[in-house]
Amino acid sequence: MKRLINYHKYGRQEWAQFHGEYRHNIAAADLQQLKSVGDQISLEDVQEIYAPLRHLLHLYLNNYQQLSNAKARFLGQKPHQVPFIIGISGSVAVGKSTTARLLKMMLQRAYPQYKIEQITTDGFLYPNAELAARHLTADKGFPWSYDNEKLLRFLEDVKADQGPVTYPVYSHQINDVLPDQQEQIEHPDILIMEGINVLQLPQNQQIYVSDYFDFAIYVDADPQLIEQWYLHRFQGFLAWQRAHPDPTNFYYQFLEQPEDQVLVFAHRVWQETNYRNLLEYIAPTMQRADLILHKTTNHFIDKVYLRKY
């Protein structure tokens, strides 16, 4: 990790003291349901890492609501709901989705009166056919493989609280955007958006995704560890296919291939696509986050970095 100048650094036990008055009501069974394949998370993580983070989000949310109401009064307007948006970024296989789902669950239980939604930016990738037509198949996941205009319109409509807002859906089963299928969110109080691209800098654009965020989190780890987690996840998906064969599933194509050959393929995908994307386009966005969760072996969060200013 590069030196983080504008951050306070906290060890796990020091960070654990910042939980405030909140006591989590998360059970081990909850964690089994929400964690991603190959990810690791424990009740100790909830108590020592995520309870303080939820308390911090509580402070940000309260200040945000007060400021939104004060700004409306300043402009002579009636105070109105402005959704609070949380962005979560980091490498493929680092555990973004688990973090997003856990935060959603904790916020729902802390704020039963609020409507809390969670989405991923995967649906804003160009469909595979369009990537092929643009000769971008090998660049899937890189900044230019997303329909950024559609993503920005979505965030603009959510932030403006325009009513039901639709968004495209990505299927990891077929590894493609589902054609003619959309989901919608309506009047969220809090939206959690996770994706590898959410903190990336504008490229000749006046505004970008992170400009809509009110709090941003980056999940970090050594790339060698992330590669292990990626390969382990790949093997997990493959094992599921062996137990539940499905010809429509992306991993079905590997069932008849020798396992060592499949692992060579997975390693090549990591090196040529995911690692290069991490190195060149994802990791450089880390210092745009308000908070960084640093992981070590077995997804253990050993350090937390909180932006100073």
pLDDT of residue 20: 72
pLDDT for position 1 = 61
Residue 78: per-residue pLDDT: 87
149 occurs within a structural domain: yes
1 found inside a domain: no
Domain with residue 21: its CATH number is 3.40.50.300
Q: Give the pLDDT confidence of 101-150 residue by residue, as tens digits.
A: 999 999 999 999 999 999 999 999 999 999 999 999 999 999 999 999 99
| Domain assignment of residue 110, yes or no | yes
Measured distance CA(106)–CA(30) in Å, rounded: 11
> CA 127 to CA 179: how far, in whole Å?
8
CA–CA dist 300, 294 (Å, integer): 8
Q: Angle, nearest 10°, between helix axes 223-243 and 259-269?
A: 140
d(Cα 134, Cα 127) in Å, to the nearest integer?
A: 11
- H or E element, residue 106: helix 96-110
Binding site listing for ATP: 90-97
In a domain, 265, yes or no: yes
Q: State which residues form the domain around 279.
A: 7-307
Ranges of the chain with pLDDT below 70: 1-2, 21-24, 202-205
Residues 6+ apart with CB under 8 A from 64: 82, 84, 214
> What dihedral angle (degrees, nearest 10) is formed by the CA atoms of 270, 276, 277, 283?
110
Considering the domain boundaries, does residue 245 fall inside one?
yes
Residue 54 belongs to some domain of the structure: yes
Give the C-alpha separation, 239 to 244, whole Å.
9
Strands 116-120 and 7-11: what pairing? unpaired
Taking only the tens place, the pLDDT of each residue in 31-62 is 988 887 778 899 999 999 999 999 999 999 99
Backbone angle region of 204, left / alpha / beta, with phi > 0 → left and psi within -120 to 50 → alpha:
left
Instruction: Answer yes or no: pTM beyond 0.75.
Output: yes
> Tell me, what's the pLDDT at 233?
92
The pLDDT of residue 136 is 94
2: in domain: no
Task: Report pLDDT for 2.
Answer: 64
Res 162: pLDDT: 76
Calculate the alpha carbon distances from 186 to 79, 100, 119, 288 in Å. 19, 19, 13, 28
Percent of the chain with pLDDT over 70: 97
Bridge partners of residue 300, in order along the sequence: 296
Question: Vertex 146, ends 292 and 168: CA angle to 5°?
Answer: 95
CB atoms closer than 10 angstroms to residue 176 = 18
Gyration radius (Cα) of the chain, Å: 20
| Binding-site annotation, residues | 90-97
Residues 107-112: contacts with CB within 8 Å, 24+ apart? 107/54, 107/57, 107/190, 109/24, 109/25, 109/26, 110/22, 110/54, 110/58, 111/189, 111/190
Domain count, the chain: 1
